[in-house]
Amino acid sequence: MHLDLDDARAAGFAGGFFALHVPSPGVPDPAKTPYALPLPEPIPFDGAAAVAEQLFAELCALPVRRARSADDFQAGEITAIVHMEGAEPIAPDLSNLESWYERGLRSIGLVWSRPNAFAEGVPFRYPSSPDTGPGLTDAGRELVRACNRLGILVDLSHLNERGFRDVAELSTAPLVATHSNSHALCPASRNLTDDQLDAIRDSGGVVGVNFAVTFLRADGQQRPAETGLSEIVRHIDHLAARMGVDHVAFGSDFDGAVVPDELGGVSGLPLLVEALRGGGYDDAAIARITHENWLRVLRATWR
């Protein structure tokens, strides 16, 4: 939908999180508000592992580099961080985690928005607090510890508030939400409260702003034609004011969400940069938001 590799190179896109995501069948789109979509059913490990293998093979066939170090990102090339959005392909006893690491896995979202062996995802609701259920399981705690030991980034997006707190207490790495927004500006369950933003800041972490229309707009409406770049800038402004510009980045959710028509996709990133510049961000701040903050956190996390 949003990420064509030729357009990405032309836009100066040098890389990002390429998600191996095992989809749930029949998840409706939150086209109306208020909305409350139930958590999808769990996905069995064996089925999820098979899908992840297929997706990884497809990623390996793409003409992109795969990142094992923050130094792998180079201007003029596209480098993929191998990321699992939802840890269902990881065995509950973690017996295949190291083999995935050896093949290049460097980032794991403990959950997508459904329960699994490690934690419970936050459902899609508007309006709603992210405090929607229990926290990490014992297996989830072991997965966080193992990721810290290996140097795998733990992504907090899609995790409910109790799970977030459990990770914050356990993790020795900077806290990261790869694609989440401000709950104070849009009270969707998927967005982060100011207390959560404070915890990410205090850990030296980063929030990647999500371009999904329903997580940007104050009314939670799915109106991409009526949602401008100013809505993305509004969330960046709030995150920067709350956490400091060193803790804000682009998160996009390209190919996983409906984004503003004005942005369109990866080719619209230069327009977003100009919108930031028009909003008073200087070149140094823009460099932090577009790439430097990500590279700093990756260097602090990866081994």
The candidate with the shortest Cα–Cα distance to 18, out of 113, 104, 76, is 104
**Contact (Cβ atoms closer than 8 angstroms) between residue 211 and residue 269:** no
Which candidate, 73, 106, 240, 88, places its Cα nearest to that of 158?
A: 88
Rounded-to-integer distance, Cα 223 and Cα 228, Å: 10
Contact 112, 84 (CB under 8 A): no
Q: What is the pLDDT of residues 62-109, one digit of tens each?
A: 999 999 999 999 999 999 999 999 999 999 999 999 999 999 999 999
| 271 CB-near residues (< 8 Å, 6+ apart) | 229, 262, 263
Which domains, from first to last, does the chain contain? 5-301 (3.20.20.140)
Question: What is the per-residue pLDDT for 243?
Answer: 98
* Per-residue model confidence as pLDDT tens digits over 186-228: 999 999 999 999 999 999 999 999 999 999 999 999 999 999 9
pLDDT at 27 over 90: no
pTM exceeds cut of 0.95 = yes
Residue 81: closest CA among 17, 19, 21, 20:
17
Q: Are 257 and 31 in contact, with CB atoms under 8 Å apart?
A: no
